[in-house]
Amino acid sequence: MILALETSCDDTCAAVVTPAGELRANVISSQGIHDRYGGVVPEVASRHHLELLDAAVDDALARAGIGLGDVTLVAATRGPGLVGALLVGLSHAKALAAARGLPFAAVDHLQGHVAANFLEPGALQPPFLCLLASGGHTLLVRVDDQRSHTVLGATRDDAAGEAFDKGARLLGLPYPGGPARERLAREGDPGAFAFPTARGVEGLDFSFAGLKTSLLYRVRDLTGQGTPSAVTHGATAPPLARDVAADLAASYQHAIVESLAHRCERALEQTGLRRLAMGGGVAANGPLRERIGALDAEVTVPPRELCTDNAAMIAAAARFTEPLPFPAYLGLDAYASGQRTPRGPV
Amino acid sequence: MSGAILGFDCATPATAVALLPGGEDEPLRARHEPAPGERPGHASRLLTFCAELLGRAGLGFSDLERIAVGTGPGTFTGLRIAVATARALAHASRTPLAGVPTLDALAEPVPGPAVLAILDARRGEAFAAGYLEGVRTLPATALDPDALARLAAREPWLAVGDGALRFRARLEEAGATVPPDDATHHHLDAAAVCRLGRTIPAGPPEAVLPDYLRLPDAELTRRVRA
Ligand SMILES: [Zn+2]
């Protein structure tokens, strides 16, 4: 049995997957504490990981109906992510393995998102394209085998989820704005306002900064007041009429969806691949799933709890990672940025 | 059961590990002290040292009678690496775990009737605890230099730790004695973590948590605004 831990951001996750790739337990302990700070605070996240992790591991083992003695491989996310947070899970996982002389697999978080597609039954067979979009990352990768991926395009500024969050804040919605913004967007007309989709930008990279600025100016024009800082801090909701706010939310969402879908379309054309998978929290967005689903490709999206950060995907990736025998992994450190994933040509 | 106890502490930039074998045997020690400007090596050294010492003693993790871990105060990330590691080792090898206050371990080997254990808490502050005749009479507290000087004036303290070096001038002015910079008493000895860990009641691993002594900055800001 593979036991995996994932603590790269603010979800404390533990999972059990069989050596054949079947999911036995997927425990996600959402900290639910960061809303009051208006975003994830690394120190707060790290403290909570330490408080929640032992229980998450016990819970995963119990739900899988196994004990630590049944574990044959331990895995954990090594990066990219918040280093202080990663180190809680990585230290714990290395020590669990060391105490029992077990092998250990250090997994790249982004490869984990890709590997969510390798869980059985119904694992996706490479080659395929994968769009990873969340609050922390936005990239389009090519997957030729189960061990690695090649980055075809990445965001040059904000992640797609970040763009969604910032938009919600500009519209005066409380953090996290996701659910309220989606509800609002459903009431509005996606064609009411024209926001930039960076369609003109060549290649497969993404950019959301211009879109965010464009929304900021629209809000200022429409409310006729409010300095950018007053609006961005969201201390007071701008006095926008509900229907105008709904149109803005719908149009803004439309622009993000278009910009993501357009790069996917372009990548399918350029690579000649016919299969496209999605991952990351943004993959749960209804209009995005609809728009991508209409592309001329075979589109698969894992269930929501496998799209957002989870440890099952880390266990899934561990199956295809060369495990390090005891004691080769004892000195492993975490890494913050994603430079370990090489960027390659289409 | 060998009666062996493994103890470690990552509350300071150093990674300090010791193995106290059963019986009269001398403790085995491993330590990494980052050079000036070098980052602490907690994540990469801690488990390596643990395995190395056990190997030297011919023991495995499951042979330990007890594990002891320094719970701070100290560097937040270091505390978490040590506690997360200790809890997992204890859990996976079914070994009782004892949390040892880091300042207690710093003061433990220091002779003298009045000992002040002080760590550099950064941001111009110190974490300090006071001990009279070996008994902690002042619990660990975060102090600014003025408060530390007032405390130092209360007893003829022998002040040790990297915080005693950092605030040497203020402490000596207030009447405390600070050993020379290269005195071993300024460094936490993980063997003291082992010795104290033996005397502290050990409980379930998840009951051991770091003693941060400070709220996260974001929480302080939020409270000021609220
Ligand atoms: Zn993620």
pLDDT of A97 reads 98
How many A from CA of B144 to the centre of ligand 1?
40
Give all strands of the β-sheet with A128-133 in edge-to-edge order.
Answer: A150-154, A138-143, A128-133, A275-279, A298-300
CB pairs under 8 A between A and B: 110
**Average pLDDT rounded to a whole number, residues A338-342:** 43
- Give the distance, in angstroms, between the CA of residue A83 and the centroid of all CA atoms in the same chain: 17
Chain B partners within 8 Å of A47 (Cβ): 76, 80, 212, 216
* Cβ of residue B122 closer than 8 Å to a chain A Cβ: no
In chain B, CATH 3.30.420.40 covers 4-102+189-225, 110-185
Give the chain A residue whose CA is nearest to the CA of B60: A99
Distance, CA of B55 to CA of B77 (rounded, Å):
27
DSSP tag of B206: G
pLDDT of A172 reads 86
- What is the per-residue pLDDT across B89-147, written as a single tens digit (0 to 9) for each? 999 999 999 999 999 999 999 999 999 999 999 999 999 999 999 999 999 999 999 99
Give the chain B residue whose CA is nearest to the CA of A52: B206
Is residue A340 pLDDT above 80, yes or no? no
Specify the higher pLDDT residue, B19 or B223.
B19
- Per the prediction, chain B carries an average pLDDT of 95
Is residue A342 pLDDT above 80, yes or no? no
**Confidence band of A225 (pLDDT split at 50, 70, 90):** low
- Helix B42-57 × helix A83-100 angle, to 10°: 20
**Average pLDDT rounded to a whole number, residues A329-341:** 79
**Average pLDDT rounded to a whole number, residues A261-285:** 95
Q: Taking CB atoms and an 8 Å limit, are B80 and A46 in contact across chains?
A: yes
pLDDT of A198 reads 78
Of A43, A68, A334, the CB nearest to B218: A43
- What is the per-residue pLDDT across A154-211, written as a single tens digit (0 to 9) for each? 999 999 999 999 999 899 888 777 778 889 999 999 999 999 887 777 899 999 999 9
DSSP tag of A248: H
Chain B partners within 8 Å of A330 (Cβ): 47-48, 50-51
- What is the per-residue pLDDT across B146-158, written as a single tens digit (0 to 9) for each? 999 999 999 999 9
pLDDT of A226 reads 54
**Confidence band of B198 (pLDDT split at 50, 70, 90):** very high
* Cβ of residue A99 closer than 8 Å to a chain B Cβ: yes
- What is the per-residue pLDDT across A296-310, written as a single tens digit (0 to 9) for each? 999 999 999 999 999
Distance, CA of A81 to CA of A259 (rounded, Å):
25
- What is the per-residue pLDDT across A33-80, written as a single tens digit (0 to 9) for each? 888 888 889 999 999 999 999 999 999 999 999 999 999 999 999 999
Q: Are strands B97-100 and B66-70 parallel, antiparallel or unpaired?
A: parallel
DSSP tag of A120: B
Is residue A346 pLDDT above 70, yes or no? no
* Cβ of residue B203 closer than 8 Å to a chain A Cβ: no
Of B81, B86, B92, the CB nearest to A68: B92
Chain B partners within 8 Å of A95 (Cβ): 47, 84-89, 92
Chain A partners within 8 Å of B87 (Cβ): 54, 92, 95
* Cβ of residue A92 closer than 8 Å to a chain B Cβ: yes
Ion ligand 1 neighbours, Cβ < 5 Å: A 134, 309
pLDDT of A180 reads 85
**Average pLDDT rounded to a whole number, residues B161-179:** 98
Helices (H), chain B: 42-57, 76-93, 102-107, 145-152, 162-166, 168-173, 190-199, 217-225
> How many Å lie between the alpha carbon of A40 and the closest alpha carbon of chain B?
10
> How many Å lie between the alpha carbon of A326 and the closest alpha carbon of chain B?
10
**Average pLDDT rounded to a whole number, residues B186-205:** 94
How many A from CA of A285 to the centre of ligand 1?
15
Is residue A235 pLDDT above 90, yes or no? no
Chain A partners within 8 Å of B62 (Cβ): 99
CATH of span B4-102+189-225: 3.30.420.40
DSSP string across A25-61: EEEEEE---GGGGTS--HHHHHHHHHHHHHHHHHHHH
Q: How far lies B220's CA from each of A147, A279, A314, B78, B225, in Å?
A: 44, 36, 34, 21, 9
How many A from CA of A200 to the centre of ligand 1?
28
Question: What kind of architecture, by CATH, is found in domain B110-185?
Answer: 2-Layer Sandwich (3.30)
* Cβ of residue A44 closer than 8 Å to a chain B Cβ: yes
Q: Are strands A150-154 and A104-108 parallel, antiparallel or unpaired?
A: unpaired
pLDDT of B91 reads 96
Chain A partners within 8 Å of B212 (Cβ): 47
ipTM of the complex: 0.96
pLDDT of A40 reads 87
Top mean-pLDDT range of A96-110, A201-215, B194-208: A96-110
Of A44, A50, A87, the CB nearest to B216: A44
* Cβ of residue B220 closer than 8 Å to a chain A Cβ: no
Of B45, B77, B89, the CB nearest to A95: B89
Among B199, B198, B190, which Cα is nearest to B28's? B190
pLDDT of A338 reads 56
